[in-house]
Amino acid sequence: MRRRRAIELALTIAAPLLILGIWEALARAGRLDPIFWPAPSTLGETVTRLVREDDLLGDIRISLLRILGGFLLGAVPGVALGLAMGLFWPVRVFFMPLAAAIYAVPKIAVLPLVIIAFGIGELSKLVIVAISIFFLVVLNTMGGVLAIDPMYRDVARNLGASRFELFLTVALPGALPAIFTGLRLALGFALIVIVGTEFLSPGRGIGYLIWESYQTLQIKAMLVGLIVTGLMGWALTLLLDVIERVAIPWRGAE
């Protein structure tokens, strides 16, 4: 098991390093315009400047807090509603048209309405992230519950399980793999939406750094922002993987 995890870690690290290596080689060979595609090895000075002068670490912290806050705000009720929709058909029939309709709407298009309702401050950013992931989590959770063998629910009912016990002991454990799949997708959506939101609203954050760098043609700073965004997504996914291994230990043994 340890050997497999070591191999997984090595392969996970190898993929981005390979991309950076190809980028570096093409830049040094003159195949890329150095103005718009400088070699990754030349970005170190820009990173240092952004950390010292522009508070890059502060921007990362702000964006992460927005992502995690909005993620929790949308994921927790999303899991609860998804479990209810999977267990009880009236709930599913009632909410399914709404879920299907809202899920199809580009979430960044809802931002003006969110700003009107909640203002231009931090709350609106949390709400837009929550909205963007809510129905994604709902639908994945519902699908996980519906995929559970009905025999388990029948056995629980025959043993006198209440609705809450059925909810807690059958639906939730059985749907956990699908729930974490939904959470992983939702985490990516949350990162995309918060960066896009920071493009459009003034203030701090990685998205604002990228957009400001683009407007002032600071290409290296923009690339640093993009790379940092990718690293944030990678780190958050790894964190969710750790939580998944703890919550579903039997899945890690597969």
- Domain extent listing, the chain: 41-252
- Report helix angle 172-200 to 219-247, nearest 10: 170
Q: Provide mean pLDDT across the span 10-16.
A: 82
Distance CA 169, CA 155 (A): 12
Distance CA 104, CA 136 (A): 10
In contact, 166 and 121? CB cutoff 8 Å: no
Residue 242 has which token pair? 């750790």
Percent of the chain with pLDDT over 90: 43
In contact, 67 and 190? CB cutoff 8 Å: yes
Distance CA 71, CA 78 (A): 10
Domain 41-252 has CATH 2.30.30.40: no
* Tens-digit pLDDT profile for residues 123-177: 999 999 999 999 999 999 999 999 988 888 888 888 888 878 888 888 888 899 9
Phi-psi region of 119 (alpha: psi -120 to 50; beta: other; left: phi over 0): left
State phi, psi for 39 to the nearest 5 degrees.
-60, 140
DSSP state of 42: G
Q: What mean pLDDT is reported for the chain?
A: 88
**Distance, first Cα to last Cα, the chain:** 10
pLDDT band, residue 111 (cuts 50/70/90): confident
DSSP H helical ranges for the chain: 2-28, 44-53, 56-87, 89-103, 111-118, 122-146, 150-158, 163-166, 172-200, 206-215, 219-247, 249-252
